[in-house]
Chain A
Amino acid sequence: MLAEPIALLGLLGLIPLTALYLLHRRSKPRPVSSLLLWEHMARHRVGGRRVDRLRTPLSYVLECLALASLALAAAGLLIRADSARPPLVLVLDNSLSMTAQRGDGVSSRERADVARPFQGVSSAASSRKRAERALRQEWSNDPPVAVVLAGSRPRSLSAADRATPDAVFARWTTDEPAADMAAAYALARDIGGPRARLMVVTDRAPEPAGTPISPEVRWRAFGRLIDNVGLVNAVRDGRSVLVEVCNFGTLATERSVRILVGDAIGAASAGDPGRTERVSLAPGERKRLRFAVTAPGRTVSVTMEGDALAFDDRLTLAPTDRPPLRAAVRMMDRALQGAITRALASSGLAIAVDESAEIEFTDGPALPTPLRWVVAFTTPSEPAQSQVHSGPFAVDQSHPIGEGLDLSGVVWAAPNIAAEFDPGDTPVIVAGATTLLSERTSADAGRSMRVVLDARRSNITSHPAWPVLIWNMLAWRDAAKPGPERANVPIGRPVRVRVLTPECRHIDPDGNATSARAIGGVISLECNRAGLHRVEAGAAAYSFAVLPVAPAESDLAAAATMEQGRWPDEQAGQPGVHSLAWLIGLVALGVLIGHAWLLASRGASA
């Protein structure tokens, strides 16, 4: 390999040198007094050797050698140092800020595309074509190039995904809401080992307060400082949409924020002109806009004028309304039934139904199912059979039922039969050795709660803790209903969707479907595609929206174009190779010294 092959043109100097020697050595007539003394020489030569060897002057050989050595040294002869060659680990910033564009329409991702990171690695990679060659060489070497995509969580590409440079750059999607460069750096170090050659391609300089970057890590940033205004937060409830807009630029600016109600799948409703609000923003200012929107079951889109970053100028919010919990109360104990009914009505979470209940309060026999949870009250058959507890009560505050529950001043009478505690139950409220409230999950995923209560001798039903207790039960059950935990999730956050069937299909905003398997009735998704997502579980389908709100990515104030760090073998001109220029230079020097000695000795002998 040669760093500067054009320097081999210096070998053309051999032509005039040879010509000079040929001209110099051409037979010259030389008068002599007599051929008498020469004839013996000629006879000896003719008789001694039929084919005379090529008589090349040593000085000519030395001069040719010196010229060739100098040409090779100038060309930068390189040898591949395969045996000692450390692996290359490429760390690619996969965050959304890499999509920032200036007026030229070229994003940081495009500026860093393909071979640009390898340009300027050495004089040998000064041009794009040579950089591409250097890139291909890296991929043809052993060990293979490792690639780490720096996103919210760093991940290493598989061997198939990094088989070729094109395959790698095809997977460099720059759609993640953050780039944890420190974690990616650590992962790259783990993959490559201490001798690895690391190249980080991003749009920002290393953070001064962040993880110290070794000077032997090539850090190449292709970002540009561009003013940007973006949507940084959006919240929707049943009555309104709250949007936050931030100006990350250095100049005051104005933006028009438009809100548009769409249909259930995000398409704009025909004839809806939408509403637009003009907002003025000082440099660094963040403003909140509230739009009254009551459009149950329909999506809402928020848009702004486009600027440097496209991802934060538009978002779609999914509908957040969901049907109230269906609760049935089947109590023989009239006093207790009244207390439960009142608590249900005050919670706002459930409606009382007789059929298809999702939670059933009963003091009779009932078995739970995945769709119907049971709150079973155990009441005494005779009043005298109860034991009264006035505290202290041990409440498991980490349990959803015990969350925020304060039983101070409560008198809780429990029937004596409550002492028969099932070891499979999880106690939530305990008084002494008596378990007052416990829960258990049956084998078919049905959940049941057992409450041991003699309402006639207790004051719990008239205590402020009672509606709290019932609300906790309803909220727990409501949270366990199928569907996404949150209808609108900021990008990068995990999305958990409860489903009733283990096999599901996830369909992203682009229509790409992937299969997912539920574990414990829940599928967990990492969604880096902003927009409306859909999960199909059997006959049921659930939608949620991923909001492209990532303030750290929208802020381009830290973007920069820079380069730092050098690989240890970079002096050779190309990674993974060693230069022999110094050695050849020494050879040329030795040859020239020998040539000078030869000439001096000839001069002395002459």
Chain B
Amino acid sequence: MIAADERWSRAASAGRRAVEGLRFARPERLTGPAGDGIGAGIGQSIEFMDFREYEPGDDPRRIDWSAYARSDRLVVRRFREDIRPTVEVYLDDSASMDLEGTPKGDAALALASACVDAARRAGYAAGLWRAASDRAHPLAAPELWPGYETRSGAPPRVGGGARPPATGAVRVLISDLLLRADLDEFVRRFSRGSRWPIVINVLAREDVTAPPGAPCSLRLVDRETGDVMQIEVDEDVRRGFDDRARRFRDSCRGACRRARATFVSVIAEDIFRDACGAEALIEAGVLVGR
């Protein structure tokens, strides 16, 4: 249980401070509900897009009479649609995200807060969602969140709740991706219908690095399932584990590439050292303009 208000407030503040002066990037042709932004489709904005032949049923106010006078043809003017782009931040609130003895949970909260804050600064309608929540209700203002509770045994189920994800929205998943499910399938499902899927892979250092020191015997307890595994750790095991962790991160990156999702990998321990991962987000093109 890491749901203390103070803890969340501190992490959220850290995330906001880290992205001060930064805003979420806005790719072209975003879709979304009507708003003050320019969408990719044809709409009622004042942003001219192109001409086309008049067709019966077209609004006569859109006919370009000057063009009719010059060419004796009826053409209508078309304009960009007015939209309000949306950023949906899904926070993996499974138990593995709050590994005790590591800043993994705080890092995930700070990143979520940073993404929401930067998105709003960029004119997005931003919201934070619990990826594994059955009820999946939006949490509009991070600082007002009642708490961040982790649950054991529940993998992130983006879109699995009562609320379907918004089509054409920017979708951000903050997760360690330590899933027993098919990773490709999971990322593909997450990316489906999203204009810009972004996967931020948050891991604790000990998730990807074997424990150092003398050879020892460890009783490993799965944070989510409670499963226990006894293992003798020596140099061979350490090397094997490090190699497997490296291949896991490579597979995450590959799954995102195949799903055309932006992949950002951060180590929780490094988050608070290099401005809450802002540098990694800037490097991936998620944040811009300091």
Contact = CB atoms under 8 A, between A and B. Distances in A.
Q: Do A and B bind each other?
A: yes
A605 B209 CA distance: 12
B162 interface: no
A271 interface: no
A336 B147 CA distance: 163
A308 to B, nearest CB: 73
Contacts of B229: 35, 38-39, 42
Contact of A57 (B180, B203, B215): B215
Given A27-B217, A29-B221, A42-B229, A34 B96 contact: yes
Contacts of A55: 215, 232, 234
Interface in B198-225: 203-204, 206-207, 211-225
A322 interface: no
A28 B218 contact: yes
A334 interface: no
A59 interface: yes
B108 to A, nearest CB: 12
Point out which of A32, A44, A52 has the most chain B C-beta atoms below 10 A from its C-beta: A32
A392 B158 CA distance: 158
A32 B231 contact: no
Given A59-B214, A602-B213, A606-B212, A35 B240 contact: no
Contacts of A33: 96-97, 99, 104, 176, 178, 203-204, 207, 223-224
A41 B237 contact: yes
Contacts of B207: 32-34, 37
Point out which of B97, B214, B219 has the most chain A C-beta atoms below 10 A from its C-beta: B214
A32 B99 contact: yes
A31 B223 contact: yes
Contacts of A52: 232
Q: Is the interface of B mostly helix, strand, loop or mixed?
A: mixed
A599 to B, nearest CB: 9
A150 to B, nearest CB: 67
A44 B229 CA distance: 13
A416 to B, nearest CB: 126
Interface string A1-33: 000000000000000000000001111111111
Nearest to B245: A37
A45 interface: yes
Contacts of B186: none
Contacts of A539: none
Contacts of A60: 214
A170 interface: no
A230 B233 CA distance: 89
A40 interface: yes
B80 to A, nearest CB: 45
A209 interface: no
Contact of A36 (B180, B218, B230): B180
B65 interface: no
Nearest to B232: A55
A52 B217 CA distance: 13
A27 B219 contact: yes
Given A57-B214, A57-B215, A36 B240 contact: no
B220 A35 contact: yes
In this complex, the interface size class of chain A, counting residues with CB under 8 Å from chain B, is: 20 to 34
Contact of B244 (A29, A30, A37, A605): A37
B219 A30 contact: yes
Contact of A32 (B97, B206, B232, B244): B206
Interface in A131-148: none
Contact of B220 (A24, A26, A30, A57): A30
B241 A32 contact: no
B100 interface: yes
Contacts of A59: 214
Interface string B85-121: 0000000000011011100100000000000000000
A78 B218 CA distance: 44
Contact of B219 (A28, A40, A44, A45): A28
B202 to A, nearest CB: 10
Nearest to A606: B212
A45 B240 CA distance: 11
B223 A34 contact: yes
Nearest to B96: A33
B59 interface: no
A27 B213 CA distance: 14
Point out which of A27, A34, A35, A41 has the most chain B C-beta atoms below 10 A from its C-beta: A34
Interface in A52-73: 52, 55, 57, 59-60
B231 to A, nearest CB: 6
Interface string B244-262: 1100100000000000000
A32 B230 contact: no
B221 A32 contact: yes
B227 A27 contact: no
Contacts of B227: 35
A41 to B, nearest CB: 5
A606 B212 CA distance: 5
A30 B228 CA distance: 9
Contacts of A38: 220, 229, 231, 241
Contact of B240 (A24, A40, A57): A40
A602 B223 contact: no
Interface in A231-248: none
A30 B206 CA distance: 11
Contacts of A27: 217-219, 230
A399 to B, nearest CB: 104
B178 A602 contact: no
Nearest to B99: A33
A32 B95 CA distance: 10
Interface in B180-209: 180, 203-204, 206-207
Interface of B: 96-97, 99-101, 104, 176, 178-180, 203-204, 206-207, 211-225, 227-232, 234, 237, 240-241, 244-245, 248
27 contacts: A25-B216, A29-B219, A29-B228, A30-B221, A31-B220, A31-B223, A32-B99, A32-B220, A32-B221, A33-B176, A33-B204, A33-B224, A34-B178, A34-B207, A34-B222, A35-B225, A35-B227, A36-B179, A36-B180, A36-B248, A37-B178, A37-B248, A41-B237, A41-B241, A41-B244, A44-B240, A45-B232
Interface of A: 24-42, 44-45, 52, 55, 57, 59-60, 602, 605-606
Given A32-B223, A38-B241, 10 more contacts: A25-B215, A30-B221, A32-B207, A33-B104, A33-B176, A34-B180, A36-B180, A37-B207, A44-B240, A45-B232
- The 4 nearest A-B residue pairs measured at CB: A606-B212, A34-B178, A33-B96, A27-B219
